[in-house]
Chain A
Amino acid sequence: MAAPTGATRILQVHPLRTCNLRCLHCYSESDPGQRERLPAEVVWEAITSAQAEGYSVVGFSGGEPLLYEPLGELLRATRNLGLRVSVTTNGMLLDERRVAWLREGACLVAISLDGMPESHNRMRGSPRAFETMQDKLHLLREAGIAFGFIFTLTQFNCDELEWVAAFAREQGAQLLQVHALDVVGRARDSLGNAAPDGRELAAAFVETMRLQAEAGDMMTVHFDLLDRDFLAENPGTFFSTPRSADAAFRPFAESISPLILEADGTLVPLGHGFPRAFALGNLRTSPFPELIQNWRDTREGEFRSVCREVWQEARAPAEWPFINWYSEVRQRAANWKLPEEIGIAT
């Protein structure tokens, strides 16, 4: 069964919401004052259970994962399970001790980069965010750890992509990932008008294709952008078809990828902050197998109906060919009326 994440099945883990920064676009509303964090045993239960259900990649994000003391041990243990591991960080806290953690287990370290230094610092709310991050990159290079950058595309910054790509290549990055701003979390208040529209997505697409051609094999340029035609032709990939008859007997990774573990222990489909009405439940109070069984029984059908509506709408003629699918599904789910809310017995 195909999924938006391609051949890989991803468990994304947010072990904490503490961060050394307070970024304008933070989807998890992390900052230095947040204290929410998961015990390492809960994270480990999620990882081992997810592996048993067919997940092959674990992505650590946050909050700032380098502030999570059990990270090194978890990375090593996760890699020993044979899973591939990524860590997403702002890069400012890299030091020899933490780089040793990463060397133990991370296949890729993804560093957030929001444009040229002035733009980056403005988005990060710190006048030294860029300089500090840049000063630490040599530690990754010297340790031989593969790294890349994640650039958040807004309505106003696709002109900075060229600079970002040049910087990434100069630093020895293997990846530049372009991800459209999703107006969720803190971005709702601080960047409400900054989600890129169809034209900006198209302009950024042309830029990324040009930059990929320039980078050749030196660096992968990845754009999280869905083509409406592709969506229309592949409803099964985007959970827009009814559940298959044998789904209950197949690994859960075939039902949902990505699966997200939030810092309070809640498991949700697709992305951090996905509406709680569609959550699997909380891993601190119920075991993983129970949560997935309950979700299959009570929520999967509704979840697929939400996805199907997005799929149907995407088939309508549109001026521009791209869609920010995760954002569309999340918004649709937020406004969805579940059967029990409208008085239908399930």
Chain B
Amino acid sequence: MATKPRSKTGSAKLSSAGRGFSAAKLSALVAILKKYKLDKDIIINGKPQPDFIKGRFTTKDSAAVVDVLRRVIQFNGVSKGIVILPNGQPPVIDRFDVEIRGIRA
């Protein structure tokens, strides 16, 4: 009796295309990337902050822009943590909307 072929999983199709990994390699990669992902998100003063900062600042010259931004966000390299959302809900994208002498950064 003919049986309906089972659909290939997405990861199997990735492997067929030469872009997939064995289970062991995938596990190792995930372990590394998990840490990377957690480390690269932004947190301010040890607490997650509003994802959107807006303001207007004055600096003497354009080179001071980075110093202003540093002072505003006080980045200390600590993980912000994970944001997970329910069906149909997009995230608020981290954004720093800063205007300095008419230049939007």
Contact = CB atoms under 8 A, between A and B. Distances in A.
Nearest to B11: A203
Contact of B87 (A56, A84, A271): A271
A78 interface: no
B33 A88 contact: no
Contact of B84 (A150, A153, A204, A224): A224
B71 interface: no
A206 B11 CA distance: 11
B29 to A, nearest CB: 5
Given A110-B90, A174-B93, A199 B11 contact: yes
B83 A6 contact: yes
Q: Binding site of A, secondary structure by majority: helix, strand, loop or mixed?
A: mixed
B7 to A, nearest CB: 5
A59 B84 contact: no
Interface residues of B, number: 42
Nearest to A187: B87
B17 A159 contact: yes
Q: Binding site of B, secondary structure by majority: helix, strand, loop or mixed?
A: loop
Given A179-B85, A220-B94, A159 B36 contact: no
A203 B91 contact: no
B90 A2 contact: no
B31 to A, nearest CB: 8
Contact of A205 (B33, B38, B52): B33
15 contacts: A2-B48, A5-B84, A8-B50, A12-B89, A108-B93, A150-B88, A184-B87, A199-B23, A204-B10, A206-B33, A222-B90, A230-B82, A272-B87, A321-B34, A326-B87
